Structure 1
Amino acid sequence: MSPRGVAIPDLRERLFTAAERVVAREGTSALTSRAVTTEAGVAKGALHAHFAGLDEFVGELILDRYARTARQAAELPSLVGRDTVAGNLLTVALALMTSVDPAVVALAMTRPAASLHTRQGLEAGAPGFSAIQDAVTAYLDAERRLGRLPAAADTATTALALVGTVHHLLMTHTMTRTPGGPEPREITERLVTLLVGAPPPHDAPAP
């Protein structure tokens, strides 16, 4: 436990990762401010000292993970002309798929204040799905200029289809998954194949 009054580097990230571990191990019902601070090994009041409450904390966790994936998507231009278009898109799509634990998303959806905080953050300009979609569109435009996509390719619609589908899977997988049904990764691979061609082998390592 960190001593009282001692600043903790990267406290937000420490609390966020602690919350993800609690949810993964014990389920959403176990996520309390006390559980998070205990898991993080920080003072009991640390969460409330930096967030208005658990709802704001959950909303900020989701915004942070979306922003992290948006930063990764922004690096797509560095991949132009390298590997395969499908492989590059799949890497970003899977990063988005795993950006937030679906159980945490499900938790936020059952807490209206947390969902509202996330929505307001995105509306205020926090990086989210729109930023990721724009980055994918810019990447596809560059690949089209190189001739690695057909000249008539509708890059904006392709990006919308990819990011929109991943968003849907992320929001609904925990609550509507059918036992024995296809996994989100499999669905994403099929979509990439449909949009731009064959993706890497199915057993390619996830990012």
Structure 2
Amino acid sequence: MSPRGVAIPDLRERLFAAAERVVARDGAAGLTSRAVTAEADCGKGVLHAHFAGLDEFVAELVLDRFARAAHHAALLPSRVGRGAVADNLQDITVALLDSLPPAVVGIAMTRPAASLHTREGLESGAPAFGAIQDSVTAYLEAERHLGRVPPHADPATIALALVGTVHHLLMTRTPATTPTPPTTTYRLIAMLLGPGSDPAAPESD
């Protein structure tokens, strides 16, 4: 265990990763501040020294993972003209769906204080679904300019439909829900891109 008074590098990520492991092993009911600090091999009071409480901690975990997915989507411009368009979009879709365990999402939605803090963070500009939608739109516009997306396609509408659907899938999953098959999201992407985009479908699940 880290000695008292000694700074812990990357403390936030250490605690966040520990919380995800606790939830994966013990479920939402097992997520307590003591369980998190024990899993992270930190002092019992470390979490409350850096967060107002477990609700704020959970909200910050959700915001952090959404920001990671948004950063991943922001790299889409580097893929313009490279690989299949649907493959590139599928990568972003899977990254968002994998960004949070369903139990953590459930905690953030069902604990009023955690839900409020998450909403306030998003309203204050924390990168999340809006940023991902903007990145997908810009990417599709660039691909359309290259002729890799049909000229009649509407990038903004495609991005809205794709990110909105993934948001629904992410926010309505439960720990007992079977993970969304890759072929399901791939078919959605192919439908949104429409004729003129003909990527190879992924292998069956």
Shorter-chain TM-score range: over 0.9
Which residue among 191, 194, 201 is the counterpart of 1:194?
A: 191
Q: Is 2:61 the counterpart of 1:61?
A: yes
**Deviation of 1:183 (Å):** 2.7
Q: Supply the AA of the counterpart residue of 1:157.
A: T
What CA distance in whole angstroms lies between the structure 2 residues aligned with 1:167 and 1:128? Answer: 10
Q: Distance in 2 between matches of 1:155 and 1:42?
A: 46
**Matches for 1:164-183 after TM superposition, within 5 Å:** 164-174=164-174, 177=177, 183=180
Q: What is the number of residues matched between the two proteins?
A: 201
TM-score, length basis structure 1: 0.93
| Cross-structure match for 1:46 | 46
List, as ranges, runs of 4+ consecutive aligned residues in structure 1 with deviation greater than 3 Å.
Answer: 197-200
More off after superposition, 195-204 vs 76-85: 195-204
Question: 2: distance between equivalents of 1:159 and 1:199?
Answer: 20
Residue-by-residue CA offset, 1:54-95 (whole Å, 9 max, x unaligned): 000000000000000100100000000001000000000000
Percent of aligned pairs sharing the same letter: 68
| 2:186 pairs with 1:185 | no
5 Å-filtered alignment, 1:135-150, equals 135-150=135-150
In the alignment, the residues of structure 1 paired with residue 7 and residue 84 of structure 2 have an alpha-carbon distance, to the nearest angstrom, of: 45
Residues 3, 172 of structure 1: CA spacing in aligned structure 2 closer, same or farther, 3 A cutoff?
A: same
TM-score (structure 2 length as normaliser): 0.93
Q: Cα deviation per residue 1:88-110 (whole Å; 9 max; x = unaligned)?
A: 00000000000111110011111
Which residue number in structure 1 is paired with residue 80 of structure 2? 80
C-alpha distance in 2, partners of 1:35/1:176? 22
Question: Any conservation in 2 of the 1:76–1:139 contact (CA below 8 Å)?
Answer: yes
Give CA-to-partner distance per residue, 1:124-154, whole Å, 9 cap, x none. Answer: 0000100000000000000000000111111
**Which residue in the other structure is 1:21 paired with?**
21
**Contact 2:73-2:135 at 8 Å conserved across structures:** yes
Residue 174 of structure 2: SS of its match in structure 1? helix
The Cα of 1:194 is off from its aligned counterpart by: 0.8
Following the alignment from structure 2 to structure 1, what is the Cα–Cα distance between the partners of residues 182 and 115? 25
Structure 2: any 5+ residue segments left out of the alignment? none
